[in-house]
């Protein structure tokens, strides 16, 4: 009990929480827990999620999320309900520069990726979300991940610098493995225009969730006395290719050691098409999108490494980069089989 009180006291020392207590009318608090990039608050008026974003998050980005949550509520889709400040504002800008967005806490059901029913329900609710946002007015977001041009132009240089720094901490075998993996990744960066030239501009666009995974799925959530499925966690939502969310679902529920379970891939597409139609072009693009996302991850990791970083951090990054090269090889070698598996589930 004493340890619990000490942990609670440490959380309450955050000055942003002091402002939340002043700006929001949720009654007396009796519990606060740190979750992700914010806090879960149990108060007299209910349970709430306090999403705290760094000072760099723009008002335009916050407005986008607020508009999306409002739109989903209007469409009766289960998602967090926004809580406004005492003054009626949809978010609060802290004195520290951080932004605060408060919503009702949504209890996320435990999603078991090994259960076919859970996988299918999760993908169906993603399709229902896509159907709900189809009428949402497009708003382009400028704060997404690295662009294709950035990856092509800066990816090889970041990779070369990473190899140069990390090589000092590896033995001869380790340096050889890293050079082999880096050489393969370098060729993938150079081939980026070729990777997406086939019909990328014609793929359907809408407001993607942007962070789909097991933790975003709400199974058996309660809304107005009814048990329904839904989604949570929309901070990374943006107007982009719908196939990005579907690729995220495949990574979440069909990834196995060394690659992807092709039968699961087909079953996921079949579950999605029970709710909405997928075009053959989207299916053919999915392996390319999966490869692009891995290259984006490699770029984010390698471009942030600086000389003087702890050896443990460097070794872990080397391990991750080598693994990404293995996954990319699998996707390239099995692209045809993956497309066939995904396409076999399309509903005419």
Domain match, 241 and 305 both? yes
Among the listed residues 287, 306, 329, 271, the one whose alpha carbon sits nearest the alpha carbon of residue 119? 271
User: Is residue 234 within 8 Å of residue 68, measured between CB atoms?
Assistant: yes
Please, which pLDDT band fits residue 348 given cuts at 50, 70 and 90? very low
> How large is the average pLDDT for residues 121-135?
96
Is residue 166 domain-shared with residue 304, that is, in the same domain?
yes
Q: Looking at the structure, do residues 170 and 71 belong to the same domain, yes or no? A: no
Question: 């009766």: which residue's tokens?
Answer: 76
Q: Residue 195's domain spans which residues?
A: 116-147+156-343
Considering the domain architecture, whether residues 90 and 133 belong to the same structural domain is answered as: no
165 and 50: one domain? no
Verify that 193 and 240 share a domain, yes or no: yes
Last residue of a domain, one of 104, 139, 170: 104
Is 266 a domain residue? yes
Indicate the Cα dihedral angle 156, 161, 295, 182, nearest 10°. Answer: 80
Q: Average of pLDDT values for 126-149?
A: 75
Q: Are residues 73 and 203 in the same domain?
A: no
What does each C-alpha distance from 81 to 109, 112, 138, 143, 223 come to in angstroms? 17, 25, 21, 24, 10
Q: How confident is the model at residue 189 (pLDDT cuts 50, 70, 90)?
A: confident
Lowest mean per-residue pLDDT among 135-149, 176-190, 249-263, 265-279: 135-149
pTM: 0.84
Measured between alpha carbons, how far is 311 from 313 in angstroms, rounded to an integer? 5
* Angstrom distance (rounded) from CA 192 to CA 150: 11
* Confidence (pLDDT) at 217: 93
Contact 332/295 with Cβ under 8 angstroms?
A: no
Domain harbouring 60, CATH code: 3.30.200.20
> What is the C-alpha separation between 138 and 244, in angstroms, rounded?
16
C-alpha to C-alpha distances, 49 to 35, 63, 228, 253, nearest whole angstrom: 9, 17, 20, 26
State how many domains the chain has.
Answer: 2
- Kindly state whether residue 17 falls inside one of the protein's structural domains: no
Q: Does 94 fall in a domain?
A: yes
Integer Cα distance of 203 and 191 in angstroms: 20
What angle in degrees, to the nearest 10, is found between the helix axes of 172-190 and 148-166? 170
135 and 48 in a single domain? The answer is no
Same domain, 174 and 323: yes
Is residue 51 included in any domain, yes or no? Answer: yes
pLDDT of residue 198: 55
278 is a domain residue? yes
Alpha carbon distance, N-terminus to C-terminus of the chain: 59
User: Does residue 189 sit within a domain?
Assistant: yes
Name which of 327, 319, 323, 295 is nearest 169 in CA terms. 319
The reported pLDDT for the residue numbered 32 is: 92
Interval 248-267 mean pLDDT: 93
Give the confidence band of 347 by pLDDT, cuts at 50, 70, 90. Answer: low
pLDDT band at 153 (very low <50, low <70, confident <90, very high): confident
Q: Among 83, 124, 76, which residue's Cα sits nearest to residue 224?
A: 76
Question: Percent of the chain having pLDDT more than 70?
Answer: 87
Average pLDDT, the chain: 86
For 210-247, the pLDDT digits (tens) are 999 998 999 877 666 566 799 998 988 988 889 999 99
Can you give the CATH number for the domain in which 237 is found? 3.90.1200
Nearest CA among 144, 135, 142, 127 for reference residue 67: 135
Q: What percent of the chain has pLDDT over 90?
A: 44
74 and 142 share one domain: no
Domain-embedded: residue 2: no
- Residues 61 and 58: their CA atoms lie apart, in Å, by 5
Inside any domain, residue 7? no
Same domain, 92 and 234: no
* pLDDT computed for residue 3 by the predictor: 44
List, for residues 87-114, the tens digit of each pLDDT value.
Answer: 999 999 988 889 999 999 887 668 999 9
Q: Are residues 190 and 43 in the same domain?
A: no
- Range scoring the smallest mean pLDDT among 138-147, 170-179, 275-284: 138-147
User: For 297-306, what is each residue's pLDDT tens digit?
Assistant: 899 888 888 7
- 3-state SS record for 93-140: ECCCCCEEEEEECCCCCCCCCCCHHHHHHHHHHHHHHHHHHCCCCCCC
């Amino acid at each position: 009990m004493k340890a619990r009180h000490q942990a609670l006291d440490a959380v309450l020392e955050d000055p942003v929480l002091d402002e939340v207590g002043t700006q929001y009318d949720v009654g007396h608090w009796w519990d606060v827990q740190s979750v992700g990039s914010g806090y879960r608050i149990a108060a007299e008026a209910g349970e709430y999620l306090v999403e705290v974003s760094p000072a760099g998050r723009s008002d335009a980005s916050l407005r986008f999320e607020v508009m999306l949550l409002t739109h989903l509520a209007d469409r009766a889709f289960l998602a967090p309900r926004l809580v406004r400040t005492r003054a009626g504002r949809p978010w609060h800008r802290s004195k520290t520069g951080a932004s605060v967005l408060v919503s009702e806490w949504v209890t996320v059901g435990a999603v078991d990726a090994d259960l076919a029913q859970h996988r299918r329900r999760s993908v169906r609710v993603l399709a229902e979300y896509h159907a709900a946002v189809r009428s949402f007015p497009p708003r382009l977001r400028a704060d997404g991940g690295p662009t294709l041009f950035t990856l092509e132009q800066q990816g090889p240089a970041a990779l070369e610098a990473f190899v140069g720094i990390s090589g000092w901490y590896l033995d001869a075998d380790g340096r050889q493995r890293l050079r082999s993996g880096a050489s393969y990744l370098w060729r993938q960066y150079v081939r980026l225009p070729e990777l997406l030239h086939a019909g990328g501009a014609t793929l359907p666009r809408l407001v993607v969730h942007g962070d789909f995974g097991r933790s975003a799925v709400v199974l058996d959530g309660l809304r107005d006395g009814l048990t329904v499925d839904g989604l949570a966690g929309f901070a990374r939502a943006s107007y982009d290719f719908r196939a990005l969310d579907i690729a995220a679902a495949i990574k979440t529920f069909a990834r196995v050691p060394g690659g992807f379970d092709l039968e699961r891939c087909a079953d996921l597409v079949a579950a999605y098409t029970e709710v909405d139609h997928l075009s053959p072009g989207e299916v053919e693009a999915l392996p390319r999108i999966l490869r692009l996302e891995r290259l984006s991850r490699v770029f984010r990791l390698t471009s942030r490494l600086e000389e003087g970083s702890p050896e443990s951090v460097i070794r872990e990054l080397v391990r991750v980069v080598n693994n990404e090269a293995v996954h990319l090889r699998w996707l390239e070698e099995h692209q045809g089989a993956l497309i066939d598996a995904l396409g076999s589930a399309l509903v005419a």
